[in-house]
């Protein structure tokens, strides 16, 4: 096994190239089949680091101290979307997602869908909400609606759609809309796996709603897997 480590952009990437064989393939290049080659897989884990302001004593040097490492809460990793940045557009199958309005928050705050997908916005709170967006990829205003009602939006263009509540300015969410299938939202443990890709150099991006993009280039080899572990640092104030 070959291991490569390095810094790119605002994040740290650790790569481990193993020997997993992918058995099927989705779509045209960069996921398309190349004659005589097997598809490859990108998978890994996302962590979010928090700068440490307090220090603890070290026994090696009693008069000195070292930082205590910390990571963000596990729930923050669900606000990351990992995707192939240089993927070519393709015909995709629409899906459905739900962003609830609960305790004056959007839950989840981040969803990723394909073009043509519907997103429901049910109101669970005993108050009115007004869901809207002024984003270029989707501009809409659902008007005010009470508890127990739900409004639906179809996202028909790729892009990043920022969603807000006109009544409660602290509420926000993001809908990531893709015209390909090579994206994933990490699970509670931060693990993700992208659909099989054709061999070659690919740009993989880990996007966070507040931390922005961390993009790295990985080389995929026929019939092998690349383990891409992102640690996204939170800037110190």
- CATH code, domain carrying 153: 2.60.40.420
Query: Lowest-pLDDT range, 38-52, 67-81, 221-235?
Result: 67-81
Judge if 16 and 29 occupy the same domain: yes
Judge if 186 and 170 occupy the same domain: no
Residue 193 or residue 55, greater confidence: 193
Beta bridge partners of 138: none
In a domain, 188, yes or no: yes
Specify the DSSP class assigned to residue 193.
Answer: E
Q: Which of 27-36, 47-56, 61-70 has the highest mean pLDDT?
A: 47-56
Judge if 148 and 217 occupy the same domain: no
Whole-angstrom distance, CA of residue 112 vs CA of residue 129: 22
Closest CA to 138 of 114, 159, 107, 121: 159
The overall pTM is greater than 0.85: no
pLDDT-based confidence at 15, cuts 50/70/90? very low
pLDDT for residue 151 is more than 80: yes
Q: Which of 178, 199, 223 is the last residue of a domain?
A: 178
In a domain, 61, yes or no: no
Judge if 76 and 151 occupy the same domain: no
Provide mean pLDDT across the span 201-225. Answer: 89
**Over the stretch 120-144, which tens digit does the pLDDT of each residue have?**
999 999 999 999 999 999 999 999 9
Q: Which of 157, 178, 199 is the last residue of a domain?
A: 178
In a domain, 173, yes or no: yes
Q: Could you tell me the residue range of the domain that residue 83 belongs to?
A: 2-51+68-87+182-233
Share of the chain above pLDDT 90, in %: 55
Q: Which of 178, 199, 215 is the last residue of a domain?
A: 178
In a domain, 57, yes or no: no
Q: Which positions ≥6 away from 226 have C-beta within 8 Å?
A: 15, 16, 17, 40, 41, 42, 43, 44, 218, 219, 220
User: What confidence score (pLDDT) does residue 77 get?
Assistant: 85
In a domain, 59, yes or no: no
Q: Work out how many domains the chain is built from and give that number.
A: 2
**Residue 173: C-alpha distances to residues 30, 55, 68, 228 (Å):** 30, 35, 31, 26
Judge if 127 and 103 occupy the same domain: yes
pLDDT for residue 208 is more than 50: yes
Closest CA to 17 of 224, 199, 189, 171: 224
Strand, coil or helix: 163: strand
Closest CA to 186 of 31, 30, 25, 75: 75
Provide mean pLDDT across the span 207-229. Answer: 87
Provide mean pLDDT across the span 59-74. Answer: 48
pLDDT-based confidence at 107, cuts 50/70/90? very high
């Amino acid at each position: 096994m070959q291991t490569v480590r390095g810094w790119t952009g605002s994040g740290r990437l650790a790569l481990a190239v193993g020997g997993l064989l992918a058995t099927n393939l989705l779509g045209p290049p960069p996921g398309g089949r190349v004659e005589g080659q097997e598809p490859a897989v990108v998978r890994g884990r996302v962590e979010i680091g928090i700068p440490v302001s307090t220090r603890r004593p070290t026994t090696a040097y009693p008069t000195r101290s070292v930082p205590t490492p910390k990571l963000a809460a596990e729930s923050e990793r669900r606000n990351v979307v990992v995707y192939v940045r240089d993927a070519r557009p393709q015909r995709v199958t629409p899906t459905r997602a739900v962003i609830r309005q609960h305790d004056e928050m959007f839950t989840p705050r981040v969803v990723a869908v394909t073009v043509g997908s519907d997103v429901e916005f049910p109101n669970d709170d005993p108050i009115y909400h007004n869901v809207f967006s002024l984003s270029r990829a989707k501009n809409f205003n659902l008007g005010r609606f009470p508890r127990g009602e739900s409004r639906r939006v179809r996202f028909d263009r790729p892009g990043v759609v920022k969603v807000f509540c006109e009544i409660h300015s602290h509420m926000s969410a993001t809908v990531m809309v893709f015209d390909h299938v090579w994206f994933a939202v990490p699970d509670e443990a931060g693990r993700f796996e992208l659909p099989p890709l054709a061999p070659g150099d690919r740009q993989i991006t880990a996007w966070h709603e507040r931390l922005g993009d961390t993009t790295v280039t990985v080389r995929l080899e026929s019939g092998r897997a690349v383990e891409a572990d992102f640690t996204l640092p939170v800037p110190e104030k």
